Structure 1
């Protein structure tokens, strides 16, 4: 689990998609250090989503962890993560820095002919764009070759992904899980300020 011991009081972890890729996934894939190291590496999706408490980085109703990108079979003991469509690009300064894909957790066996039993658990899986993976692979290779001490278990960081898991509820206000104030709701309800008539 993440180390919160050095964080200031009142700290909240609500990163944007861009921040997750630039400040966390890209640094992890480039073997750069973290201070403090918040997001743990759970490898190949070993836990059911309701078992992530105490294992993944937790903030509010969301859990964050690193894993490995797999072509299929994101399975646990009781179910599997089913893809919910195509990947979406994540931008920074009009450049694609990564991709995001949605999954829903289903109970049962992915290879079974039975109908899927979908749950309310959703996962967003982030990966680096192909360009960033190429750059990171080159820099990581140079860093490993110049190091005198080699790790016994090497990991393929080109397949590294960052996952955000949450349980979707019908009364969720928005994707970030943040509540809107009364004034926020008033301003968001105004479609066009030009149409407001003011007294003379």
Structure 2
């Protein structure tokens, strides 16, 4: 039984110290796959749609603060618009630079590819080192009309 399913079974009870720390497979199958692609709702794990994730500096985004997520970590559904991840923010310009290639996420039994992921880091224009902000984008394989829908795991420094 997955961590997400365990939490759903006991949603009426409080979990002291419980944190949302899913595997990549759980993110794709339960959060991205079921909830977004199949349009089913999950009242417990409803993750926020963030339309401006690529429009602002990561430290200027309004993040939902909750004890449910690990400190300085957030999860958002984002509709990708093209490949550009340039940010013309209020305090600086910068961009989300990919760290390596798009990689496959395989099932728990390693028999099938269930999604893709890409890791990125935020660089301020003119700086040679990363800002410390990182993001992993998770993509479904068969998203249908949600092909540009990604689940982003954002981590602050």
Aligned equivalents of 1:117 and 1:163: distance in 2? 22
Aligned to 2:154: 165
In the TM superposition, what is the alpha-carbon distance from 1:35 to its structure 2 partner? 2.0
Report the Cα offset of residue 43 of structure 1.
1.9
* Corresponding residue of 2:97: 82
Matched, 1:21 2:36: no
1:96-135 maps to which residues of 2 (within 5 A)? 96-108=113-125, 114=126, 116-129=128-141, 132-133=142-143
Q: Deviations over 1:165-192 (max 9, x none)?
A: 1135xxxxxxxxxxxxxxxxxxxxxxxx
What's the TM-score, normalizing by structure 2? Answer: 0.73
Considering only CA atoms, is the larger Rg found in Structure 1 or Structure 2? 1
8 A Cα contact 2:63 2:74, kept in partner: no
- The residue aligned with 1:40 is 48
Structure 1 unaligned spans of 5+: 109-113, 138-155, 169-200
Inter-partner Cα distance in structure 2 for 1:25 and 1:162: 6
Q: What stretches of structure 1 move > 4 A for 4+ residues in a row?
A: 114-117
> Any gaps of 5 or more consecutive residues in structure 2?
1-10
Q: Which has more helix, going by share of residues?
A: 1
Q: Does 1:62 align with 2:98?
A: no
Query: What's the counterpart of residue 187 of structure 1?
Result: none
Q: What is the CA–CA distance in structure 1 between the aligned matches of 2:80 and 2:64, rounded to whole Å?
A: 19
By percentage of residues, which structure has more strand? 2
CA distance in 2, matches of 1:70, 1:116: 26
CA distance in 1, matches of 2:58, 2:12: 27
State how far apart, in whole Å, the 2-side matches of 1:124 and 1:54 are.
Answer: 16
